């Protein structure tokens, strides 16, 4: 089905005869493949007598060959899948099969994409970016202090390079535009946390998904397409994201998060704002002072500074319902 989809990705009409000739199959075989595309990938295909078939919206499919042939560093090998449960899960399976990091896993869609705190990450086919980078970590858990915040900085600059100028950070792992989520980060560890381990850096970006397109998400969201007013080439985004990650991960490895702390605070949208920190059933009200050198959030709570960190914490503005 993917060869057919590559012919249709331009969003123009193609006759069944032309599609069949290009793929060396009959028109009836083309018709069956089109039905499968609609049923399995939830794609809308317009069928007009005398004109042929076209996608309701053009796609920029990921190109594994081009991504691996790019001249610019980093030289991280890239694997592109049509469909996986999640790119993080696939990356972990590749580690078990002795794939040597660093490497990147991408997918056109995820059937069980996930975010922090067990949330589902909506992952339609061919519209967004589902990206996992696997790194080897030597020296234990201290090497990953503040890592998710560093990744946030790299992602922020990749989005800004694409023209999304209003994007900012929300502690610990979200990026927002006008108060709406555009991207998120999920880190997962594998191996011995006291010695040699691996970290999977999972990144999800709403790229070409549009509001009003039937997508249901349980929080306010936006996409690069909505912010920019046009389709985004996801291959270019992958290359820019990898460049920015390489740059920021190098600083983090050499100098630690402390060297990037002030920069991160400068892009934090809720700096100085009144917030509620949610930790299970506990809620703590305070004012955001910033972050510390380990990436923990610093709050003024009743006149005293307190720091908080942990994967199950969530931050809300005081007036956020």
Give CATH for domain 64-265. Answer: 3.30.930.10
- Please indicate if the annotation marks 116 as binding a ligand: yes
The Cα–Cα gap between 172 and 302 comes to: 22
pLDDT of residue 73: 82
Task: Quote the pLDDT of residue 147.
Answer: 95
- 118 or 299, greater pLDDT: 299
DSSP 219: S
- Look at residue 17 and give its three-state secondary structure: helix
The domain ranges of the chain are 2-55, 64-265, 270-317
pLDDT digits (tens, 9 = 90+) for 135-149: 999 876 777 889 999
Looking at domain 270-317, its CATH architecture is: Roll (2.30)
Is 47 within 8 Å of 15 (Cβ atoms)? Answer: no
**Percent of the chain's residues with pLDDT above 90:** 70
- Is 88 a known ligand-binding residue? yes
Backbone φ and ψ for 40, nearest 5 degrees, come out as -85, -35
Q: Give the model confidence (pLDDT) of 106-129 as tens digits.
A: 999 998 876 555 566 677 899 999
Q: Which of 45-54, 150-159, 220-229, 276-285 has the highest mean pLDDT?
A: 150-159
Of the pLDDT bands very low, low, confident and very high (cuts 50, 70, 90), residue 318 is confident
Would you call the peptide bond into 102 cis, given omega within 30 degrees of 0 as the criterion? yes
The token pair that represents 139 in the structure block: 């020296």
Tell me which residue of 181, 166, 283, 253 sits closest to 222, measured CA to CA: 181
- Tell me if 246 sits within 8 A of 75, measured CB to CB: no
Q: Structure tokens of 43?
A: 């794609």
pLDDT at 118: 55
| Statement: residue 45 has pLDDT above 80 | yes
pLDDT at site 2? 79
Q: Sort 6 into a burial class: Cβ within 10 Å, 0-12 / 13-18 / 19+.
A: middle
Q: Is-contact 156 123, C-beta < 8 A?
A: no
Residue 208, marked binder: no
Tell me what pLDDT residue 191 has. 79
Structural contact between residues 80 and 64, judged by C-beta atoms closer than 8 angstroms: yes
pLDDT of 222: 94
For range 86-105, the mean pLDDT? 95
Distance CA 151, CA 205 (A): 13
User: Is the pLDDT score of 281 beyond 90?
Assistant: no
Q: Is-contact 268 276, C-beta < 8 A?
A: no
Q: What are the contacts of 93-96 at 24+ separation with CB within 8 A?
A: 94/134, 95/134, 95/190, 95/198
* DSSP state letter for 74: P
User: Is 87 assigned to a binding site?
Assistant: yes
110 is in an annotated binding site: yes
Residues 140, 112: contact at Cβ < 8 Å?
no
CATH class of 2-55: mainly alpha
- pLDDT higher than threshold 90 for residue 277: yes
* Residue 270, both tokens: 């809720």
Give CA torsion, residues 188, 192, 195, 198, to 10 deg. Answer: -30
- Catalytic residues, by residue number, are 116, 181, 316
Q: Rounded to 5 degrees, what are φ and ψ at 68?
A: -80, -15
pLDDT 10s digits, 151-209:
999 999 999 999 999 999 999 999 999 999 999 999 999 877 777 889 999 999 999 99
Residue 54 is predicted with a pLDDT of 93
181 assigned binding-site residue: yes
Q: Which residue has the higher pLDDT, 315 or 289?
A: 289
Q: Is there a binding annotation on residue 111?
A: no
Q: What are the tens digits of pLDDT across the range 10-43? A: 899 999 999 999 999 998 999 999 998 888 888 8
pLDDT at 65: 94
Does 321 score more than 50 pLDDT? Answer: no
| Strands annotated E in 82-142 | 103-107, 129-137
Give 218's pLDDT tier (boundaries 50, 70, 90).
low
């Amino acid at each position: 089905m993917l060869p057919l989809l590559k012919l249709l990705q331009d969003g123009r009409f193609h006759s069944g005869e032309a599609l069949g000739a290009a793929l060396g199959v009959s028109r009836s075989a083309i018709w069956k493949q089109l039905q499968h595309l609609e049923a399995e990938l939830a794609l809308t295909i317009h069928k007009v007598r005398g004109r042929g078939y076209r996608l309701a919206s053009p796609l920029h499919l990921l190109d594994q060959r081009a991504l691996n042939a790019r001249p610019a560093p980093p030289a991280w090998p890239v694997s592109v899948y049509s469909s996986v449960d999640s790119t993080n899960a696939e990356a972990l399976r590749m580690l078990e099969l002795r794939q040597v990091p660093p490497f990147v896993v991408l997918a056109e869609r995820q059937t069980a994409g996930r975010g922090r705190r067990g949330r589902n990450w909506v992952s339609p086919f061919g519209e967004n970016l589902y990206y996992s980078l696997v790194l080897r970590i030597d020296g234990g858990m201290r090497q990953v202090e503040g890592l998710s915040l560093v990744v946030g900085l790299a992602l922020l600059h990749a989005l800004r390079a694409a023209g999304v100028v209003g994007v900012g950070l929300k502690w610990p792992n979200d990026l927002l535009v006008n108060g709406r989520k555009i991207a998120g980060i999920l880190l997962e560890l594998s191996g011995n946390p006291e010695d040699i381990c691996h970290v999977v850096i999972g990144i999800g970006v709403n790229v070409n998904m549009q509001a009003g397109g039937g997508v249901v998400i349980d929080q306010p969201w936006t996409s690069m397409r909505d912010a920019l007013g046009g389709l985004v080439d996801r291959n270019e985004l992958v290359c820019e994201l990898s460049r920015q990650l390489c740059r920021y991960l190098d600083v983090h490895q050499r100098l630690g998060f402390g060297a990037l702390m002030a920069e991160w605070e400068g892009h934090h949208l809720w700096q100085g704002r009144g917030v509620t920190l949610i930790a299970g059933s506990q809620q703590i009200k305070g004012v955001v002072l910033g972050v510390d050198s380990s990436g923990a959030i610093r709050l003024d709570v009743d006149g005293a500074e307190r720091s908080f960190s942990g994967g199950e914490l969530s931050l809300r503005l005081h007036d956020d319902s």
